[in-house]
Amino acid sequence: MARPSPAGARLAQDRAAALRLAPVSRETSERLDVYVDLLDRWRRATNLISEASFASVWTRHIADSAQLLSLVPDAKRWVDMGSGAGFPGLVIAIALVDVAGARVHCIESDRRKCAFLREAARLTRAAAVVHAARVEAVAVPDLGPVDAVTARAFAPLPATLELARVWLDSGAVGAFPRGRSARWQLEAYPHAQIYSVEVVPSVVDKEAAILLIRRR
């Protein structure tokens, strides 16, 4: 039996570490394997994820995305603004495959990335709908009710919240992974006082946090 390459061994170790940080079912982990394999193949031709970032894709991206599920456990209908390569939206959609009524709207303006998201959703049966548009151009009523809105590496927090307001003000929970500057960025948002904010430490990075934001 051939031994895995050093890169393959590191990826396997990273996978194991990620699944300890953000446990998922066996079926979900198998679907995530399909997603990561596709990401590896597509990234060579499409600017989805860098070589350095892919080396720790499971902890840095998969676990970092999957941890949001336990923070908003009752959310079935999500909006992911600026989905990119699918973090966190497609990861959440993969985890919700067997949840009745689940749907994740992945909004992404780059059509090449949308092509990847659609293929990944097809292969994993993810509960995802891909919108090839800028967030501000999406017809909000067409998306229907939304339980949670998220965005990762999308825009500074004030700009992110301004785009998310249409869902936050309708009762959705905002779940936004942020870095060290999260509190300062929130203070810079002119409407911050109308929202309650819970700061939850990230399970992946001790210096990062997830902001859970609700309309008061």
> What is the predicted pLDDT for the residue at 44?
81
Mean pLDDT, rounded, for 36-59: 91
pLDDT value of position 8: 83
Other C-beta atoms closer than 10 Å to the C-beta of 216 total 7
**Location of structure tokens 């050093």:** 6
Query: Residue 70: which of 19, 23, 26 has the closest Cα?
Result: 23
> Greater confidence, 120 or 43?
120
pLDDT at 4: 62
In eight-state DSSP terms, residue 123 is H
Task: Classify domain 6-215 at the CATH topology level.
Answer: Rossmann fold (3.40.50)
% of residues, the chain, pLDDT over 70: 97
pLDDT at 51: 86
String of DSSP letters for the chain: -PPPPHHHHHHHHHHHHHHHHS---HHHHHHHHHHHHHHHHHTTTSSSS-HHHHTTHIIIIIIHHHHHHHHSTT--EEEEES-TTTTTHHHHHHHTTTSTT-EEEEEES-HHHHHHHHHHHHHHT-SEEEEES-GGGS-HHHH---SEEE-SSSS-HHHHHHHHHHHHTTTPEEEEEE-TTHHHHHHT-TTGGGEEEEEEE-SS-TT-EEEEEEE-
The tokens 């193949």 sit on which residue?
A: 41
Tens digit of pLDDT for each residue in 163-196? 999 999 999 999 999 877 777 777 778 888 899 9
User: Each residue of 4-32: pLDDT tens digit?
Assistant: 677 788 999 999 999 999 999 999 999 99
**107-136 pLDDT, tens per residue?**
999 999 999 999 999 999 999 999 999 999
What residues does each domain of the chain span? 6-215
Q: Which residue has the tokens 């800028």?
A: 134
Residue 207 φ then ψ, to 5°: -95, 5
CA torsion angle for 14, 17, 22, 24 (degrees, to 10)?
80
- 148-163 per-position pLDDT tens digit: 999 998 988 889 999 9
d(CA 184, CA 181): 5
Q: Taking the model in full, what pTM does it have? A: 0.94
Average pLDDT value over all residues in the chain: 93
Q: Assess whether pLDDT exceeds 60 at residue 213.
A: yes
